[in-house]
Each structure stands twice: as structure tokens, then as C-alpha cells.
Structure 1
């Protein structure tokens, strides 16, 4: 029995027949270009064959406005890019205030709290949906990835607002913070097990569910503490500046440390997105059902805007001396060893003799793209008032690109960047006013709810 097909059609239209298979093979063999590409790609990586060297050799790392004079960070085998990008933005002002060349906030500290808060967020969503079938689309989406590493700008801000920050020395990296797979595997198993039990307890009432939720969270707390260490409640902060002068602030809480060393008003930043789907009108705010990490925190809200505005605001911020947090679909048209992106970097159409015609809206609609990674713009090359290329601080270490700083041609920005975080005061008045509208609620599985990792 077949499903979703019209059985009235002739079998040869539904099944691959020997005659059709023979025809496909003859058509392939008849074109010398196919055999040439087969010889090339069976011996060489397809990206090396498809690479447009004219574009690659035409890219250099110079820009007219460059902010970075610091070293890049390294998220290693973890999906914490959104945390790294956010903390990389904040460490610039902190380093200046401390009088040091390089400084890092503890990424492990925020990871611990994000995991614990997100476990609670997930379990609350399970309680709320426990009257639905387990194969309900929303429930299935929640269960598909209960506690990934990825996140969004608003989630980053919510963590700092509730839990503050600490320097890396107060909660350094561990084996599991730098390689999260095993820890995540065990956390997911515990959370899915907890979801099963909470759903079974639905008929017993809210009090029984709450009590069991606490037991699950106690186990999650133990796992996180075993893997990542225990988050400090207070720590002694002292340091030596670049002139070898000693300083001591004394014992601080994470909230006090954040208040002293976060130099940007991050609660005033908004997330602009470029969602070109017809169902997503420009100038409207959106949120995604069950997207977030902290229960009762402000919702994750996007403001949809034209791509030209995202580019202009990002350019103006960098020219004005401030890096820009952004999210993108990172692996598209990317040359990793050179550290470059360009919208036409690889000519796959010529390799396969097949057109690739999905535009950005179609890629979103047909599950071909979503935001996958967050980084910082730390430079821009401006020609006649418009951006030509961008300098990007990645969090993949110093081994690639210009000691870890990548180069993005502006063509790639338009196709594969989805969002930027900018000050509300930088928006045109009509878009600033639009932020006060109730957001359109997208379903939990919408691609604009993707998490950067």
C-alpha cells in the first residue's frame, strides 16, 4: 500500500523502470562534461572543483574601518557561538575599563545557567502541553531537541539580566564545556524521561507534576555541576593591567561584576531580522512559540526589516566604533581554510549541470536554510558610502582566515545573514514604533526560531 500518491496513475509514472534507468545512464554517458566532472569529483572534494578562483583571489582581508585589535576566542566542540559572540561584544569595553589588552568573560558560567534555565523552560512547556498527544507537532518539536547548545540574542540578554557575569578565571573551561556532546546526550535522556513522567502525571494534577519537575531539575543540576563545575556566587576580583599596575575590586557577586564591567546598554538592543517570506510583513514584530531559555523572561522578539536597512545599520555601528552581533547560515558558500564567504564562491550549477534556483524566501519555506551561527562584525570596507565587504570575528580559534578573523563579501550578507542586534535608537522612527506592537506568534517549528550554535 502506498500513501500520498494517486494510484490511478500508470505504474511507470510512479516507479523507476529498467528502461528509465537505462535512459538516465545513457544520457549521463553521452556528455563528455559529465565524465570529466565524475573523474574530477571522485578524486577531489567537490568544493575544490566548484571553487571560483577568480572570486577567491579577488578577496583580501583589508577594510576601510577595522575595530579589532584583540585575539579571537574558541568555542571548540560546542554550540556556544551565540554566547561567544555576545561576550566578545561585551569584552571590548570591559578590557578598556580594566586597562588590559585581552579579556574574556566566562563562557562556561553562562553555559551552566543557560542549560539549567533551559531545562526548566522545557519541562514547563511539557507540563503546558501534557494534554496533547505525544505525536502532536508542537510536542514532537519540543522533544526533538530538549536542550541544545544554541541560542539567540534575547536569550543572551536574559541570562545576564538574571545571573550576571564572571571573568573566565572565576569559572574556567572544562572538558565538557569545550566538548558538549556527551553531556548533552545525558541531559537529553533525563529530560525526555522527565517529559514522559510529567505527561503521565497530568491526570494526577499540577502539584504532582511540580514535585516531579523538581526531582528532574535536581538531577539536571547534578549533571551540570559534575560536567561544568559549580557557578560561583561570589569571587575575589583582582588583576594586573597592561602597565603592570595591580588592581583589586574585592569580593563581587556575578550581578555586581556585570554592572561594573558591561559597558553597553544591552537591554536597549533589538533584534532585526530579514525574513523575505510573503507571510512575514516588513515592519512587524514576531515571536516563536516556546522559544526561549528562562521562564517569565521577556519573549524572544524579532522586528522584520528590509535587507538594505540591516546592512546600513550594521555599517553605521561599525563605522561609529561598535562591533555588531549577527546571525547567519554560516556554511553556505564558505571557504574555511581561507576564511571567506561570497554568494557565488562555488559554481555547483556547472559541476552538476543542474540549476539551483531557490531564493532566500524559498529556502526558508522549503527547509533549505535557517540561522545556524552567530558572530561579530568588527570591520567594514566602505566604498562611496556603501559596504563592499565585512570583517568578521568568528569563535573558531586562530588557525583559519586572518588569525581567526574572516572576510565576507557584501553579496553573501544579503543572501545568508538573517539577523543583527542594534540599538533601538538607531532605528527609523516608524520601525522603533513598530516594536510596541504585539508580536505575531509563529509556530514552534518555524525556521525563524532556529538557534545559532
Structure 2
């Protein structure tokens, strides 16, 4: 490793900087404005009008927004929202919700097994090894990916929210996560010791099974034990009563959603040198169900990325997407995702310009949040703004919906999920390739760890 040079900041430098600062008439005015109001308030832009009006040439009917509360389940809410949009239209249930708590329970349970298996597989490496340290830093969390929810649904199905409602711990997951991660790290000590002591696979797996039973108990106490069969009664928007008896979570999915989830694929836009376009990528150690569906991304240029989303919207289907929601946005009050919402560069007279690839390579940006695109405004066939359904309740934006400018999408959107029918033939062939495996900390896997 190269040693640092001895170029420390001198007193003369500080004096020179202070002199230049005080020679500018605007310095003290801006100093007062920023210290009193904060950086964002002092740099907030005043753009508005048609650019941000919640009116779109394609606008899907989707009902009331959901609320993930104090949990990191955005990816799960967004995916289930796309499914409930379909179900609501098909069965006339405008504000129906699927149980996010149900898939959360099984995700926690499966992630624990995923962690145990990765700990066993890396037991020959020291805890200072970067991959082992990566595992131990966050054994499991609330984040995830579209493919990870598909893996849960493939194995466990889904249920209506009324059958398995939210709990204190699903709405506010920090207490459970803290305790579960403490247990998983403690279990990692024992599993690594067993492997390194030469225990047989049967002995290691036997001990792991007892650990998983404890996880099941913890999750059941915290979220409620999930149903295996249930009856479902509902009244549709035409006031007609319906009763479905003897359903299982898997039969419910097959009857009321009925999607072939293998048709829905992840498209990313990651214009970095290590990810050539028109090829597929997976992320090492990213997943939840051992032996289940693999996280897999097809990397496309931004034009093709947007076109796939537009094709799906034109067909009347909403689009799951992943982005860096905190960048140049005001999602909480105004519900805006726009490059001009703040102008810190003008305020401080600095240059912050970076390409999308540079932001990814230098850790300035990554996927932090998943939502649903439910509309787009096309002018002469080109997108100008997009309608976004969030999962932060109806007090943000316009009853929970936001406006995303097309320029913002280009810079800070990284992933959409579309039905393969909305890709070109060449893109479908590329998507069928075996993926190149990326390192666990690649920014295209960050949604599983951020929210």
C-alpha cells in the first residue's frame, strides 16, 4: 500500500482560503441563509407547472397506496403491488392488498438458512476475509430483489392481507432484525467451529436444523405463524359477496394471480466497464431460498431499458423498478424525482458533475429503493415524465404517488422488471445466457441491503 505524502494543510493555506472567502460579497449572506435554513431549503428550486403536474398520457388505475411503515420492505411491497394491480382489475377489488407480512415471514426464515449455508461454505476462511466479513456485517436484513420474492412465492405462495395482517414487528422491524442478527452471528461461531473441527456434513446440518427451529419460533412470535389453509370472504366493487373455502397460499396465487413468474425478468442499466450491455449478471451470495430462483439481471442501454417499460405500460401492466431515491429528489412533501429540485452546485459554486458510470464505480450512487411505475407521459412518442406509486402511505406526494422526470430516470433508475414478451428477440436470447457473477458488494445488489 502506498504511504500518504506529507502534504498536510498549512496555516498559510487556511489564511489564504479565509481571505478569498471574505473578499466575496455574497459569502456572509449565503452563510446566514444556509446556517439558518439548511442546505436543502437554501438550494431548493422553484420549478413547477406542466413538468410536475400529475397528468400522464398513459395512466393505469391502481387504487390506494400501501405503507411499509418503519421497515425496509420496499422491494416486497412494490412486487406485490404489481400483482395486486392485476388481481384488483380482474376481480373488481379496487383497494385490495396482498399480505406483505406473509412473504416477510418466509423471507426472514429463508434468509437465515441462506446465511447459515454461506457461513458453512466459507468456514475455511478467516473472519477477516472480505466475503466472510460481508456476511457477518449484516447476516440478514429487510431488503431484497424481485427474483427473491419470486423464490418465496414459488415455494410458499401468497395470501390476502386480511388473512395474515401486519403486526407491530412487520411494521417496525428493527427490534426483530437486531435480535435475529445477534442470533445468526452467534450461530455462525458454532457452525464454523463444527466445520473446522472436522464434523461430518450430517452433524453440521443436524445442528443447523435446530438453529432454524429457533428462527421459526422467533418469527412466529413476532409476525404470527403463517396459515397453511384458509377461507377467504370478500365483497367486490359491485357489492357482490364471494366465499372461497379451503385455499392454500399456493392455490390462492394460482387462482387469483396466475402469473408464470418465469416470464418476468430483471433489466438493469449499469453503464460501467465491467458490465457490457446485452449480457446477464448475478451477484455472489445474494439470495434467500437455497436452491430457489437466482437473482439475474440483463443489462441494457437506457433507451432499450425505457422502451421495455413503456411497452409494458402500453399493455396495461405496471412496472416494478429500482432506483436511488435520495438523489436530487424531494419525495416526502412534493413527491418529486427531478434533477433540478435542488441546486447545491449553484449555492456553493462547486462542480458535482459525474457520469452515471462514475457514480456507480465511486460509490456515489446505488439502488436504495423499489417502487412501481404506473404511468408515463409520452410526447411525440418520447417519455417526458413518469408516474410512480410509492409505499410510504398517502401523505407523501399526491396521495402517495410521485412524479419522476425522464432526465431523473436516466441518471438514477437502475432496474425494471418486465414480461419477456416486451423485449426484442435478441434481448430475450441475451437474457437466456448464463450470467457473469459479480462480487457481493456490487451496486447492482445493493437493494437487498438498502432501503
Give the gaps of 5 or more residues in structure 1.
none
Q: How far is 1:56 from its partner? A: 7.3
> Cα deviation per residue 1:283-322 (whole Å; 9 max; x = unaligned)?
1110010110100012111000001111111112112211
- Provide the rounded CA distance (Å) in 1 between the counterparts of 2:390 and 2:214: 34
On the 8 A contact 1:56/1:345 being kept in 2, the answer is no
| Equivalent in the alignment of 1:66 | 59
* Alignment deviations for residues 259-289 of structure 1 (CA, whole Å, 9 cap, x no partner): 1111433320110000100111001110010
1:160-190 per-position Cα deviation (integer Å, ceiling 9, x unaligned): 1110000111110001100101110001100
The one of 229, 232, 238 equivalent to 2:227 is: 232
Aligned runs of 1:2-401 on 2, under 5 Å? Answer: 4-6=2-4, 9=5, 11=6, 13=7, 15-55=8-48, 58-202=51-195, 203-205=197-199, 206-335=201-330, 336-401=332-397
- Specify whether residues 216 and 29 from structure 1 end up closer, same or farther in structure 2 by C-alpha distance, changes over 3 A only: farther
RMSD: 1.5
- 8 Å Cα contact 1:55-1:345 kept in structure 2: no
User: Does residue 451 of structure 1 match 2:418?
Assistant: no
TM-score (norm 1): 0.95
Q: Is this contact kept in 1: 2:51–2:385, CA < 8 A?
A: no
CA distance in 2, matches of 1:81, 1:69: 17
Q: CA 1:382–1:127 in structure 2 vs 1: closer, same or farther (change >3 Å)?
A: same
Deviation at 1:45, TM superposition (A): 2.5
Q: Note the C-alpha offset of 1:57.
A: 7.8
Q: Is the 8 A contact 2:58 2:314 kept in 1?
A: yes
Deviation sequence 1:70-128 (CA, Å, 0-9, x none): 10000010000111001110012222333322211100000000000011001100000
Tell me how far 1:436 sits from its aligned partner: 2.4
State the distance in 2 between where 1:235 and 1:413 align: 42
Paired residue secondary structure (1:170): coil
8 A contact 2:51–2:405 mirrored in 1:
no
C-alpha contact (below 8 Å) 1:190/1:216 kept by paired residues: no
Q: Which whole-Å CA distance do the structure 2 matches of 1:48 and 1:136 have between them? A: 43
